[in-house]
Amino acid sequence: MKRSQLFTKTTKTSPNDEVSNSAKLLIRAGYVYKEMAGVYDYLPLGLRVLNNIMRVIREELNAIGSQELQLTALQNKEVWEASNRWSDEVMDVWFKTKLNAGGELGLAPTHEEPITRLMKPYISSYKDLPVYAYQFQTKFRNELRAKSGIMRTREFMMKDLYSFSKDRSEHDAFYEQCADAYMRIFHRLGIGEDTFRTFASGGAFSKFSDEFQTLCEVGEDTIYLDRDKGIAINEEVYNDATIRDLGLDKTKLEQHKAAEVGNIFTLGYRFSEALDLAYNDEDGSRKQVFMGSYGIGPSRVMGVIAEKLSDEHGLIWPTEIAPYQYYLVGIGEAAERHCAKLAEQAPEIVLWDDRPTARNGEKFADAELLGIPCRVVISDKTLADSKVEIKHRVNGQIELLTLDEFNNKLV
Ligand code: ATP
Ligand code: MG
């Protein structure tokens, strides 16, 4: 990719209507554009990061046997009335609209109801179970306060997975598999070390739900962390009884601000009863399907990563999700010609700063602001020695590679 083909530009000045560092950096670097409070567009570089985050999630979820689908955002009133969640008193984040043809519809804040109904023609026997289905879908929530840039918005990307199991024990086994997959995802995304499975309020079918909380100063939650055990308690269920139940030692718990990047819920029969999703068991009896739901917010995750993995010079993307791997700067005519060849050879991983009027210093500053993992400088001098200079964004270390060694990284 050539920098001159990117329509976005970087700026030195921070937007004055953003509080969080991640929002300031993402806007300055041209990853996102703010439409209004709590509503953002993803620009080419930002979309590449978001897509990379979704790719990592997809790979790990496919590996535990779940299937991707995509549901519509437009919601049928009757389906939500069946579970008593159409009412604004029960669900206070609805965006609703009237149909010109008559009637009302809503913009999905989540998808338990439609996916439960959708499964009715496909699940009728124990032989049809279990089913694990997920999607990446735009959710709409009329949040009272939108803050921290893309970490809490009124339109956002969610990965939502729903499990349909024969019974509690089949459900519990998948629930744990999914919790493990979540930790693998957060490690690959570069926030695994600071992300903790956290006990939070449950529902009718389980005492607790599991949140995945990432330590983060601008996070909205407060958690109490046992570092040795690697688990935490959300403030909402933090009390002596919970601490005792979980076998934790109050004096060892550290209080932290954190951001919820994902959560998993045992739903039990809540929705299968409301929408009558049942199956015939082996012994001929009719049983309700046992359900769970499992969310991750890829756009919030992107904000959390930008918040945590950045410094005074800009963003620092982990290699798995960086929009490009190499930010290429050529110094001198022969070097520029060589860069042109490399950029053409590997357009998906090389971003070549080919802007003729930009000074080298500006190019170097942009490499850092954009957070590309490696800045690669080729000058006529290094070229004469058959060398390239690589500077790693994460630790500032510089190494010299031969042209061949660098070429091998591009294939
Ligand atoms: P929160 O407690 O932060 O309001 P939630 O418990 O309502 O979130 P879920 O409904 O379970 O969250 O959504 C699944 C995931 O979607 C969350 O773990 C979070 O990562 C993300 N998410 C939820 N609300 C938003 C939002 N307004 N903007 C961006 N991401 C969100
Ligand atoms: Mg929550």
Selection from 145, 149, 154 nearest residue 34 by Cα: 149
Which atom of ligand 1 is found nearest the CA of 303? 29
Q: Rounded to whole angstroms, how far apart are CA atoms 160 and 264?
A: 10
For ligand 1, atom 21: residue with the closest CA? 297
List helix spans (H) across 162-238. 168-188
Residues of the chain whose pLDDT is less than 70?
none
316 C-beta neighbours (distance < 10 Å), count: 22
Selection from 145, 132, 253 nearest residue 198 by Cα: 253
Which ligand has the minimum distance to the alpha carbon of residue 111? Answer: 1
Please give the distance, rounded to the nearest whole angstrom, from the Cα atom of residue 260 to the centre of ligand 2: 7
Whether residue 210 has its Cβ less than 6 Å from ligand 1: no
Which ligand has the minimum distance to the alpha carbon of residue 141? Answer: 1
Give the CATH H-level superfamily of domain 326-409: Anticodon-binding domain (3.40.50.800)
Q: Rounded to whole angstroms, how far apart are CA atoms 376 and 343?
A: 12
Please give the distance, rounded to the nearest whole angstrom, from the Cα atom of residue 399 to the centre of ligand 1: 41
Whether residue 158 has its Cβ less than 6 Å from ligand 1: yes
Whether residue 159 has its Cβ less than 6 Å from ligand 1: no
Parallel/antiparallel/unpaired status of strands 254-268 and 290-296: antiparallel
pLDDT of residue 209: 96
Reduce the DSSP state of residue 18 to 3 states and report it: coil
Q: Taking the domains of the chain in order of start, what are their residue ranges?
A: 3-311, 326-409
Q: Which amino acid is at 48?
A: R
Whether residue 293 has its Cβ less than 6 Å from ligand 1: no
Whether 199 and 232 have beta carbons less than 8 Å apart is answered as yes
| Fold of the CATH domain 3-311 | BirA Bifunctional Protein; domain 2 (3.30.930)
CB burial of residue 149 (10 Å; 0-12, 13-18, 19+): buried
pLDDT of residue 63: 98
Please give the distance, rounded to the nearest whole angstrom, from the Cα atom of residue 119 to the centre of ligand 2: 26
- By most ligand atoms within 8 Å of CB, the mutation choice from 39, 57, 94, 139 for ligand 1 is 139
List helix spans (H) across 29-124. 44-63, 77-81, 112-118
- By most ligand atoms within 8 Å of CB, the mutation choice from 54, 111, 112, 158 for ligand 1 is 158
pLDDT of residue 182: 98
Whether residue 263 has its Cβ less than 6 Å from ligand 1: yes
pLDDT of 116-148, one tens digit each? 999 999 999 999 999 999 999 999 999 998 878
Selection from 348, 383, 207 nearest residue 406 by Cα: 383
Whether residue 156 has its Cβ less than 6 Å from ligand 1: yes
What is the greatest pairwise CA distance in the chain? Answer: 80
Backbone angles phi, psi at 215, to 5 degrees: -60, 130
Which ligand has the minimum distance to the alpha carbon of residue 92? Answer: 1
- By most ligand atoms within 8 Å of CB, the mutation choice from 32, 263, 302, 307 for ligand 1 is 263
Q: Rounded to whole angstroms, how far apart are CA atoms 411 and 401?
A: 15
CB burial of residue 170 (10 Å; 0-12, 13-18, 19+): middle
Whether residue 292 has its Cβ less than 6 Å from ligand 1: no
49 C-beta neighbours (distance < 10 Å), count: 25
Residue 11 to residues 23, 26, 53, 369, 384, Cα–Cα distance (Å): 13, 11, 25, 9, 35
pLDDT of residue 350: 98
